[in-house]
Amino acid sequence: MFEMRSTFASALLVSAITFPYLSCAQNFVQVPIVRVNNGDNFVSAVNVAVGNPPQNMTAILDTGSSDFWVPATGSKLCADPKNQCIASDKKFSTGSFASNSSATFVAGQPNFFAIYTGGVNVTGTFMQDSIRLGNTELKNNTMGLSTQGFLPTALFPVMGIGFAAQEFSATQQNPTPYENLPLAMKSAGLTNTAAYGIYLNDFRSTEGSIIFGGMDTAKFTGNMTMLPILENSNGQATDFVISATSLAITGGSNKKRATTNIALPNKQTPVLLDTGNPSIDVPLPVVEAIGNALNANPGPDGSMQVTCDIANKGMNMVFGFSGATIQVPIEMILTPAKNKDGTQAKNNNGNNLCVVPVNPTANEDDLVSFGAPFFSAAYAVMDLQNKKIGLAQAKVNATESNIQEITASGGNTSVAARAEIYSGSWNNPRRPMRTVPLV
């Protein structure tokens, strides 16, 4: 029996339709999503260059927040023991930004700050400078330049690509949000709309991709279902929150347990889709039900642990939405359980242990979050302009490509399906990106 204690670590009818989505022009920007630490975690990152001449950095790609910021070279933040600004003897470096080395740097006001779940917070000032993503340059982009903060985990720059209404300054002091990255790309004519397609792919593979202003129809199978983003209690769509309608564990060697339905908190449970979250966060009773279905046990650090041979049992987590179903193979989201000395953890029978990235929310009424493990098997179109999310089953490790532009009307014409409009709102604390330590 998998039982977690309080001490554990902290729309049904679908019809195929056609939208006037495509354009003959190619206004999109494709950027690889890179792995950090050889795929032993669920950190989704992109390489970005800031300034002139370009200074290279690696930033977490985060749909759960809306600000892009980088650490300042020589700052207190980069002197913190958990900084990753300089490679030196570290296994990994995010890089940092030296403003006095950029000919196009413009200091900005007011002060910048960001706070994330898990305790990470940074402060600094706003700035403007050019950024390069892939082969594309965006000039005069507004971003944060962080100089100090609190780092309970390893330091990463963050590329927040959510709604501008959730910029940290907008939620606290500035009623008029600035144009963050998706909006700035549209204004600069690099894309025709504030929307993008995300293909995180299997984290054991080399990379995935994000296409600002476009989507790759060769990277998913079947129809893409367009789901309306839920409004908050103020009647505004400010986060990538949609309704989840079901969750199940399927497969396994015991045919009597071929399908185990997991009860979600509500018939239509608001869920934040957050690439910056390295786990799937659900209320404690849901975690325990998943653990029981997987025959899991709690590890010393509170993680959900299973024997690694579960990867051979063909088990899946199946997420249901209004008209969309995403099947995530358990074997795709397992990571090795480690002892304190970094060696492979084993059970009393000598079997290797693996971690299932499912964690309890801090409180049972907190907003549920499906993070990077969910995205590893889903192709998602995040449409800020039309306030919709498109979901389809990803083709894992697909090598073909068929990129199509997203216009102001929405997603792709030939593959879209519409879920019946459902009602509802949510009134929970926002759940931005959570960072994880690297080894």
pLDDT for 306-315, tens place per residue?
A: 999 999 999 9
* pLDDT (0 to 100) of residue 429: 47
Lowest mean pLDDT among 57-66, 312-321, 427-436: 427-436
With 0-12 CB in 10 A as exposed, 13-18 as middle and 19+ as buried, what is 228? Answer: buried
Known active-site residue 281 = no
- pLDDT tens sequence across 316-344: 999 999 889 999 999 999 999 999 998 99
> Does 222 score more than 80 pLDDT?
yes
As a whole number of angstroms, the distance between CA 40 and CA 248 comes to 25
* pLDDT (0 to 100) of residue 16: 29
Known active-site residue 80 = no
> Does 49 score more than 50 pLDDT?
yes
* pLDDT (0 to 100) of residue 424: 52
What percentage of the chain reaches a pLDDT higher than 90?
69
Beta carbons of 127 and 29 less than 8 angstroms apart: no
Q: Where exactly are the structural domains of the chain?
A: 33-192, 206-426
With 0-12 CB in 10 A as exposed, 13-18 as middle and 19+ as buried, what is 309? Answer: exposed
Is 206-426 in the same CATH topology as 33-192? yes
Domain 33-192 adopts which CATH fold?
Cathepsin D, subunit A; domain 1 (2.40.70)
Tell me the CATH number of domain 206-426, given options 3.90.15.10, 3.20.20.80, 2.40.70.10, 1.10.150.120: 2.40.70.10
Beta-carbon contacts of 342 under 8 Å, excluding residues fewer than 6 positions away, are: 439
> Does 189 score more than 50 pLDDT?
yes
- pLDDT tens sequence across 98-156: 999 999 999 987 789 998 877 889 999 999 999 999 889 999 999 999 999 998 888 89
Backbone angles phi, psi at 285, to 5 degrees: -60, -35
- The structure tokens listed for 203 are 């984290």
Please identify which residue in the block is written with the tokens 């056609």: 18
Lowest mean pLDDT among 55-64, 89-98, 116-125, 294-303: 89-98
**Which pTM value belongs to this model?**
0.89
Backbone angles phi, psi at 381, to 5 degrees: -110, 120
> Which of the four pLDDT bands, split at 50, 70 and 90, describes residue 39?
low
Catalytic residue from among 67, 239, 274, 281? 274
Q: Which of 375, 381, 376, 363 is nearest to 117 (CA)?
A: 363
- The structure tokens listed for 271 are 């869920």
- The structure tokens listed for 202 are 């299997």
* pLDDT (0 to 100) of residue 89: 60
Beta carbons of 368 and 273 less than 8 angstroms apart: no
- pLDDT tens sequence across 341-390: 989 999 999 999 999 999 999 887 889 999 999 999 999 999 999 999 99
Which helix or strand (DSSP H or E) is residue 289 part of?
helix 284-293
- The structure tokens listed for 377 are 């098997």
- The structure tokens listed for 93 are 């470096």
Beta carbons of 190 and 140 less than 8 angstroms apart: no
Which helix or strand (DSSP H or E) is residue 184 part of?
helix 181-187
* pLDDT (0 to 100) of residue 434: 43
How far from chain centre, in Å, is Cα 177? 22
Rounded to 5°, the CA angle 137-143-144 comes to 145
* pLDDT (0 to 100) of residue 296: 97
